[in-house]
Chain A
Amino acid sequence: MTKLDQEPIAPPLFTSRGEPAEVHPVLNVLVGLLLSVVLIPFIYLLIRAFEKPLPGIVELLFRGKTLEVLATTAVLLIIVVAVNIFLGTLISAGLHFVQVPKAHLLIVASVLPLAIPSYVFTYTWLALLPSLSGVLAAAFVLILTTLPYMFLAILVSLRRIDNGFIEVARTLGQSRRQIFFRVILPQIRGSISAGALLSGLYVLSDFGAVSLLNVETLTVSIQNMFKSSYDRSAASVISLVLILASVVFIAADERIKDKKAKENVFKRRYTQESRISSLRLKSFVLVLVGMYTSLAVIVPFYVLISRFISNPNPIDVSGLITASVSTISVSALGAVIALVFSAPLGFLIATHAGRFSRFSERIILIGHALPGVVIGLALVSLGSKLGPIYQSVFLLAFAYALLFLAKAVASMTFSLQLVPSVLKEVAATLGKSKAKISTSVVFPIALPSIGLGTLLVFLTAMKELPATLMLRPTGMDTLATQIWSYASINRFNDAAPYALLLVLIAAVPTFLLSMPRAESSSNSAQNESKVGSIA
């Protein structure tokens, strides 16, 4: 039987996902409108790119410089993702399967680097080792930045594995090594792929780290073209190459995605007693995690604090306050726009299993592939046609919303799916209309999680650099742009207060979210997966 055949022909009032099967026409129109808004930058880039005559495009694509940039990007991407897969698997398996003392604190410590954007990492390491530059240095910094995405993704799925499988495999005479490769690995393949996607997209879209370390990747190349020659068409062509690279990456992950098995509610938890207590393995895990946290947490904080303290110049308090206020207001505006956009999209995806819903999901995923540089370029190019919005905080906030829409929608969908359909059914039998069910059951349950998602989009927007550089109104400084402008001329002492403030603001929620909860490990696993997918 094909998949289509299994869907009821008699239109049911509730689909298997528990919502009215027919999409309300207003929702359809709304989603259609939003999707076209999301696609505007992309379409505009296409138009700009093909303003160039075809031979010109071909020449641009195959000239030595472009190939060199492509090769650099690919090498960087491969190194970072490969090392991440290896270290991420080791760390997460170590923290999960080995009896490490204070494992939850180690997890919190290893997650903290998520609060530090790549350009702050680079700047702290440059302050320590001024000669740092090149692809390997960039790879080093980007591994420090993105490793938590990988190990969080794996850790969450390790926790979901039914310990019953492991016990059965043990009784069937399998060694621990065999169990890892034959039982565990097949079940975490999808999360490894998801972690690879998150860290890979980070590398592809990163601008700050590579730029400070003089590595010319696609993003740097686009920014250079944009700045120097104003050859927008050439920049658009390269942007499309960058988008294509991201799309290929996303498509690869889609293929590997785990088939979601129904979670067994009676599954056996992996308890402290069943963890491996070998001293050798314990010390190995401790050394590994210790090394990572020293390089990714202790060193950056040490540099930031010591630079902050040793700064002989008085701190520009008013500058700091102005930058904080503009950072917070424009990021908050962006998060609110993303929230408003994500509501109909998330509602459609979470509750309607249909062709249009799947199509929307794909389109939004493409949004995931648009790096800040590309959105910045598209909106700047569009700028002259946008009238008064151009050069205003609204355009920047809109850029943030577009950039993080995929995250906002993922969070919205996840939150709405927290509500089991049986609750909606019970509410219906108790006389509630569909609208009333939404207000009295769905949103009250989903609201905390939606709020959390919005908060995380807000925090991510605060750290965004390239789009901010390109789209900020003249004269407006944010924390990110201030760090950038001081760090790029090696005034590390002056950058320190801004960086410290940014990192501290971002660290608080990261810290709180990664704290394990006593009452429910699945809850904290969910939180961690949220940190992983949204931070």
Chain B
Amino acid sequence: MTSLDVSHLTVAFGDRTVIDDLSFNLKEGEISSLLGPSGCGKTTLLRVIAGLLQPREGTIRFGSQLVGLSSVVLPPNKRRTGYVPQQGALFPHLNVAKNIAFGLDKKEFSADQIKKTVSDMLALIGMSGFENQMPTELSGGQQTRVALARALAVKPKLVLLDEPFSALDAELRNELRSDVVALLRSQGTTAILVTHDREEALVSSDKVVLMRDGKIAQYGSPEEVYESPISPSVAASTGDALILNAQQSADGSTTYAISSNGSASQNSMNSNGYVVIRPEEIMVSKSSSNGVNGTLIQLDYYGHDAMLVVKLAESSEIIRARVAGPMDFEVGDKVSVEHRGPIRFFANS
């Protein structure tokens, strides 16, 4: 395993710049997620790191080894990355054991060593006894596991996962994801996971690389990018976000529709920016009178929690709040709304 350093990377297809002067690094053993909407360049970045595409500018280092430079490139077969593409891409003509052994050089390893590696890997992914199955006989989740085993068998410097869970249904997806992440951690693997699922990015990684239009929009630990977004749009891409007009005065106090220092009426307020609030930071109550009054106009019930949509009486602002567990709200209820959390203010630019 090794650290990764990507520096001033630019990739272009003709006139179209897909990755634009992008830099980030990963420590040994860190798992990071590349999160972003489709077309933002995250898969391209992964392929450049694997050596499958050549950058126009910039450098890529695995540890101290320079593997990619605009002019000199180490070919993909010399990089030792463990690449796990969507749906696994198992070789259809080889059985599970041969798929896992595919990257093990017969000149380097004896037949016994290869056999041992294969059975170790199968044990690792919980699929001992599947040696002679063909890929078509496996379920989607099993195929992904074998693809991961195949990648890990060569003791890669870096594991690259390109939306490996996207074809699976929700339940299997969560289960397999936590298995895979646990496995990568137990091996101390440096890994990059490409995903467009924000929860997946937050739950599985040490670092989240939030990509937007070929650039890094924000880069940090999951808590950082979720709790301290650098812009309202970054906040929206890591989770649900409520964005309200706000006024920050010279003494630093911030006033917005549900601020605790008394709600400013929209008309009197001289808005000079926004606040970003997570729905779970909003308390909704039928009995309390501490907050701002409003009417519950919509209720989306998800089981483990529910999203309440409240229209404020005074400002007519629409507030979305998440409440956990059992609750006794009904559309039409008069409620009181309160914000208990950090105030993230973004001035108008």
Contacts and interface: CB of A to CB of B under 8 A. Distances in A.
Contact of B76 (A7, A420, A429): A429
Contacts of A422: 85-86, 89
Contacts of A433: 77
Contacts of A354: none
Interface in A402-444: 420, 422-423, 425-433, 440-441, 444
Nearest to A4: B14
A13 B89 contact: no
A445 B70 CA distance: 34
Contact of A14 (B12, B53, B147): B53
Interface in B203-228: none
Interface in A1-24: 1, 4-14
Interface in A375-425: 420, 422-423, 425
B277 to A, nearest CB: 38
Contact of A11 (B51, B54, B81): B54
A7 B154 contact: no
- Residue from A6, A8, A11, A432 with most neighbouring chain B CB atoms (10 Å): A8
A73 B102 CA distance: 57
A12 B48 CA distance: 10
B83 A429 contact: yes
B91 A423 contact: yes
B89 A428 contact: no
A150 B29 CA distance: 60
Interface size classification for chain A: 20 to 34
A426 B102 CA distance: 10
Contact of A430 (B13, B14, B47, B150): B150
Contact of A10 (B11, B15, B50, B86): B11
B54 A12 contact: yes
A9 B12 CA distance: 8
Contacts of B82: 429
B53 A6 contact: no
Contacts of A13: 51-54, 73, 75-76
B12 A8 contact: yes
Nearest to B160: A429
B80 interface: yes
Contacts of B79: 429
Contacts of A9: 12-14, 56
A425 B81 CA distance: 11
Interface in B139-155: 147, 150-151, 154
B78 interface: yes
Nearest to A418: B92
Contacts of A10: 11-12, 54-56, 70
B77 A432 contact: yes
Nearest to B167: A265
Given A423-B89, A423-B91, A8 B102 contact: no
Contacts of A430: 77, 83, 102-103, 150-151, 154
Interface string A30-67: 00000000000000000000000000000000000000
A426 B92 contact: no
Contacts of A431: 77-78, 80, 103, 105, 154
- Residue from A1, A13, A445 with most neighbouring chain B CB atoms (10 Å): A13
B15 A5 contact: yes
B89 A7 contact: no
B93 interface: yes
A445 B92 contact: yes
A444 B94 CA distance: 9
A444 B93 contact: yes
A352 to B, nearest CB: 17
Interface string A438-481: 00110011000000000000000000000000000000000000
A425 B52 contact: yes
Contacts of B15: 1, 5
Contacts of A14: 52-53
B14 A445 contact: no
Contacts of B160: 429
Nearest to A6: B14
Contact of B13 (A6, A420, A425, A445): A6
A431 B54 CA distance: 17
A422 B47 CA distance: 11
A431 B108 CA distance: 12
A432 B91 CA distance: 14
B168 to A, nearest CB: 14
Contacts of B105: 431
Nearest to A428: B76
B76 A8 contact: no
Interface string B126-167: 000000000000000000000100110010000010000000
Contacts of B47: 425
B129 to A, nearest CB: 24
B290 to A, nearest CB: 51
B150 A5 contact: no
Nearest to A5: B14
Contacts of A12: 52-54
A430 B75 CA distance: 11
B65 to A, nearest CB: 15
Given A5-B14, A6-B14, A428 B52 contact: yes
A11 B85 CA distance: 23
A4 B13 CA distance: 11
Contact of A428 (B16, B77, B92): B77
Contacts of A426: 83, 85, 89, 91, 147, 150
Nearest to B82: A429
Contacts of B16: 6
A447 B259 CA distance: 70
A425 B91 contact: no
Interface string B270-307: 00000000000000000000000000000000000000
A116 to B, nearest CB: 35
Nearest to A443: B93
Interface in B285-338: none
A525 B251 CA distance: 75
A425 B85 contact: yes
Interface in B88-122: 89, 91-93, 102-103, 105
A31 B70 CA distance: 32
Contacts of B54: 10-13
A429 B13 contact: no
A8 B14 contact: yes
Contacts of B89: 420, 422-423, 425-426
Contact of A425 (B56, B76, B80, B150): B76
Contacts of B13: 6-9
Interface in B9-25: 11-16
26 contacts: A6-B14, A9-B14, A9-B56, A10-B56, A13-B51, A13-B75, A13-B76, A423-B91, A425-B47, A425-B52, A425-B83, A426-B83, A426-B91, A427-B91, A427-B102, A428-B77, A429-B50, A429-B79, A429-B81, A429-B160, A431-B80, A432-B77, A432-B103, A440-B102, A444-B93, A445-B93
Given A10-B54, A431-B103, A431-B105, 16 more contacts: A4-B14, A6-B13, A8-B13, A9-B12, A9-B13, A9-B56, A10-B11, A422-B89, A425-B83, A425-B85, A426-B150, A428-B75, A428-B77, A429-B83, A430-B102, A431-B154
Interface of A: 1, 4-14, 420, 422-423, 425-433, 440-441, 444-445
Report the 3 A-B pairs with minimum CB-CB distance, sorted nearest first.
Answer: A430-B103, A429-B83, A428-B76
